Amino acid sequence: MRRPIIAGNWKMNKTIPEALEFVASIKDGLEAIEEVDRVIAPPFVALAPLADLLKDSQVNLAAQNMYSEEEGAYTGEIAPGMLARLCQYVILGHSERRACFGETNEGVNKKVHAALAHDLTPIVCVGENLEQNEAGITDAFVAGQVRAALEGISAAGAERLVIAYEPIWAIGTGRACSPDAAQHVIGTVIRGTLRELFGEGPAEAIRIQYGGSVKTENVADFMREPDIDGALVGGASLRTSWVDLTRRAVRPESGE
């Protein structure tokens, strides 16, 4: 059985004091929800202070990006080795990085290799835009992104991956994908591609999240789908109701 994973991507929000105050206020609530992996992805500068705050906690941290090289003349970049003691996960290939900062499939693939080499768990983001969705090419496009991101990864490395399916048209729009359509892309397209690449065992072990306008009210509908193992959440991860969202993901009947 795959352990569910709910991750909050803060994007470019919260200063260090705001991050510390917010996490201090939700920490106990999150810690009580033991049946799910709980991950917070703050901006880089908040990672070290939050790692300190969470050092004895089961709540894990993720970076929102990193570079693939070990060190050197790459002004403004962060190397995988710099993240090693600060966080357990790293989000790679988020659509905003692809759209605003020119990230390519090839670059994402290098980052996946680098993250695994440093024992960081990559959360690899894939997803189609509205035009592709309306043109009916979602399945082929997403399968291609998965293949490209995971080129050259071994089956043993693959088992450690998390993949996030985030249709771009659903991100930050309040217009989530239907759970049915997300299950199709995640179960048939993504897990099917993983089966072709790595075989049945790894394909069944890899956790796949849905992302795009997930909130407390709809998270359980996604989690009910057999191949959806969690959520990658933007806007709703910035509020104290984040604890309720996480709880609702694994205890759908909880009214709290």
Name the residues that contact ligand PGA, by CB under 6 A: 9, 166, 171-172, 211-214, 232-236
Least distance (Å) between residue 213 CB and ligand PGA: 4
With respect to ligand PGA, which residue has the nearer C-beta, 10 or 67? Answer: 10
Q: How far lies 133's CA from each of 139, 168, 179, in Å?
A: 9, 9, 15
**From 94, 96, 103, 128, the catalytic residue:** 94
Query: Distance (Å, rounded) from C-alpha 180 to C-alpha 64?
Result: 28
Name the residue number minimizing CB distance to ligand PGA. Answer: 234
Distance of CA 74 to the CA centre of its chain: 25
Bridge partners (DSSP) listed for residue 207: 162
With respect to ligand PGA, which residue has the nearer C-beta, 126 or 236? Answer: 236
With respect to ligand PGA, which residue has the nearer C-beta, 13 or 88? Answer: 13
Contacts of 179 (CB under 8 A, 6+ apart): 218, 221, 222, 224, 225, 228
Q: Is 113 a catalytic residue?
A: no
Query: Distance (Å, rounded) from C-alpha 126 to C-alpha 188?
Result: 15
Q: Is 184 a catalytic residue?
A: no
**From 96, 103, 128, 166, the catalytic residue:** 166
Least distance (Å) between residue 4 CB and ligand PGA: 17
Bridge partners (DSSP) listed for residue 133: none
Report the catalytic residues. 94, 166
